[in-house]
Amino acid sequence: MTDQKHSKTMQRRDFIQTGMRLTLALSLGGIGTMAALKTAKGDTVWQIDPFKCVQCGRCADYCVKTPSAVKCVHAYDLCGYCDLCGGYLKPDAIAQATGAENQLCPTAAIKRKFIEEPYFEYEIVEDLCIGCAKCVAGCTSFGNGSLHLQIRHDLCDNCNECAIARVCPADAISRVPASEPYKIKGDFTANNKDQTQSREE
């Protein structure tokens, strides 16, 4: 009777131990497989193709973040540094000057800085930019198209389904490899921006 009880206890202990070992092995295996798959497939993030973008204004309103994680970026290498900037000035601006009444941007997110006659540098103040693309439309229509929209990954939540991609009329937003998170125009990269900032400093 006592032996039977002991044997039964041992069996239960064995069962629990075996079960735990199996669970551990399966968990480790699963995690390993997932890691391997993730490494092979690569992470992806949302990004805008600036050459497909039609400046519809929806990036400003449909992003789940407020203000939008979509910001205007400036390809300095492409910019003409124009006094007559179509991205900065309203088409019917009273003067080519920094007065609010002349500015196209609804939030005054573009800073205009005199370089030398007649060249001006334009810098995006990201905290103010709402990603409305008004300046992009002006720059694309009249200038070189150096102003364009990009999803900033330090701000983006990388939602499973991007709320802006869903309403984008040009299907300009798609997933891109996280290793190449920006679709850039000209020679512009995030590093260029850093270089520009350090030049100014």
Partner 1 sequence: MQKKLINIFLIIAAVAVALIMGRDFIVNKSGKNIENAYEYNIDEFRQVDSSLILYREVFSFPVQVEIPKGIALCENQIYIVAEDVFLKFDREGNLLFRKVLGASPTCIACGCNGEFLVGMRDHIRLFDGEGTLLSRWNSFGENTVITSVVVSGESVFVADAGGRVVYQCDKQGNVIRKIGEKNEEKDIPGYVIPSPYFDVAVDAEGFLWAANTGRHSFENYNADGSLRTSWKTSSVNIEGFSGCCNPAHFAVMDDNLFVTSEKGLVRIKIYDQHGQFKGVVAPPAAFDRGATIAPEVVVDGENRIIALDFERKSVRIFEQK
Q: Is 186 in the site for partner 1 (CB under 8 A)?
A: no
Cβ atoms within 10 Å, residue 155 = 15
**Residue 9 one-letter amino acid:** T
The binder of partner 1 chosen from 167, 177, 180, 194 (CB under 8 A): 167
Quick check: 100 binds partner 1 (CB under 8 A)? no
Q: How far is the CB of 169 from partner 1 (least distance, A)?
A: 3
Cis bond upstream, residue 67 (ω within 30):
yes
For residue 129, the minimal CB distance to partner 1 (Å) is 12
Determine, following the binding rule CB under 8 A, whether residue 29 of this chain makes contact with partner 1: no
- Does 103 interact with partner 1 (rule: CB under 8 A)? no
Verify binding: residue 58, partner 1, rule CB under 8 A. yes
Among 57, 112, 123, 158, binds partner 1 (CB under 8 A): 57
Report if residue 112 touches partner 1, rule: CB under 8 A. no
142 binds partner 1 (CB under 8 A): yes
Number of residues that bind partner 1 (CB under 8 A): 34
